[in-house]
A and B are shown apart, each in its own frame.
Chain A
Amino acid sequence: MLIQIILVAGLVIGGGLLLVARPVNARHLALRRLGLLAFVAFGVLAIVAPSITSWVAHRVGVGRGADLLLYLMFAAFLAFVATTGRRHRELERQLTVLTRRIALDEVRPPSGSDAQSSHRP
């Protein structure tokens, strides 16, 4: 059935995105926002005209509109996890660089009496 192809493809792509560590840029942000907008629009449509979901569901081979919504929700959740995970890793990398910079800037010579001679000003 069509829905199975769509879902498996989405899952594989989503999993692939998780593994690839691509830098976050403006294009991703815009795409994500558009995606959110589409998501909201679809949600509104589903609420206002519930029969539409059934119609779409039947076209792709799903029994009920509610089931289709569930599948799409699952896919959206995975996308969210992938995106958030990637952003979290980037944040952690930035935090590490910053902490290291501060640590190296604030180095003080040893306080011990048998201190080594300092080789930096």
Chain B
Amino acid sequence: MVRGLLPTFPQVVCVDDGSRDGSAQAASEAGAVVVRHALNLGQGAALQTGFSYALDDPAMRYVVTFDADGQHQVPDAAAMVERLRRDEADVVFGSRFLDERTRPGLLKRVVLKTAVHYSNATTGLHLTDAHNGLRALTRPVCAAIEITQNRMAHASELVHQIAQTEARTVEQPVHILYTDYSRAKGQSVLNGVNILTELFFK
């Protein structure tokens, strides 16, 4: 996956959130910079670490968040950055519901749609896919946010903070590839309970 990204995105950073398999080594050998958490903190914390790393580079202008389980497609990411370059917006959110390429199962669709309604109601930002990991941000937006939700509530927190910056946001149709691996790694419906609890009790 890293090798797929490198031709288009020369600066690839993988955050190793306390993994005990050989994935960090493999990513490094493929040419990615690996930033390693000594402890497993959660996806939100990993994302913020990635942002912090990117912000440390003064030449960085755009950041793309890209899931490591193979769900996201490089052309989608490239198209999103292109829109940022053309100054169409400051933030591009990927959405799997804008076209017909992605076909999630019924239960997953219901859960996601519920999350969308909750997100739209609480953040003031109207998205069609509130839990999509593929996003592109410009440097000013990246610098203005700070994710404090370490675990699964980070996506909602991110949307909320971006809404507060009043940056121009657009959505980009993206294709999510559901493989057996990504299904195994993905969020269960029960995790919705965890997400809401974490948001409520900060």
Bound Cα distance A19, B34 (Å): 36
Q: Mark A77-99, 1 if CB is under 8 A from B, else 0.
A: 00000000100010011011001
Q: Which of B25, B49, B59, B200 has the most CB of A within 10 A?
A: B49
Chain A residues positioned under 8 Å from B201 (CB to CB): 18-19, 85, 89
* Pair B36/A114 contact, Cβ less than 8 Å: no
Q: Is B12 an interface residue (CB 8 A)?
A: yes
Bound Cα distance A19, B41 (Å): 22
Shortest Cβ gap from A116 to chain B (Å): 5
* Pair A89/B49 contact, Cβ less than 8 Å: no
Partner of A103, one of B27, B49, B150, B202: B49
Chain B residues positioned under 8 Å from A108 (CB to CB): 28, 33-34
Bound Cα distance A39, B32 (Å): 57
* Pair B36/A119 contact, Cβ less than 8 Å: no
Chain B residues positioned under 8 Å from A18 (CB to CB): 201
Count residues on chain B whose CB falls below 8 Å from chain A CBs: 33
* Pair B56/A100 contact, Cβ less than 8 Å: no
Q: Which of A19, A99, A103, A116 has the most CB of B within 10 A?
A: A103
Q: Is A31 an interface residue (CB 8 A)?
A: no
Partner of B202, one of A21, A99, A104, A115: A21
* Pair B34/A110 contact, Cβ less than 8 Å: yes
* Pair B48/A100 contact, Cβ less than 8 Å: yes
Chain B binding surface, main DSSP class: mixed
Q: Is B8 an interface residue (CB 8 A)?
A: no
Considering the complex, which residues of chain B in the window 98-113 have a beta carbon less than 8 Å from any beta carbon of chain A? none
* Pair A99/B38 contact, Cβ less than 8 Å: yes
Given A112-B29, A119-B57, A104 and B10 contact (CB-CB distance below 8 Å) = no
Bound Cα distance A8, B15 (Å): 47
Chain B residues positioned under 8 Å from A102 (CB to CB): 38
Chain B residues positioned under 8 Å from A49 (CB to CB): none
Chain A residues positioned under 8 Å from B6 (CB to CB): 114, 116
Q: Is A50 an interface residue (CB 8 A)?
A: no
Partner of A107, one of B30, B33, B39: B33
Shortest Cβ gap from B83 to chain A (Å): 24
Shortest Cβ gap from A22 to chain B (Å): 11
Q: Is B79 an interface residue (CB 8 A)?
A: no
A interface residues with partner B (beta carbon < 8 Å): 18-19, 21, 85, 89, 92-93, 95-96, 99-100, 102-104, 106-112, 114-116, 119-120
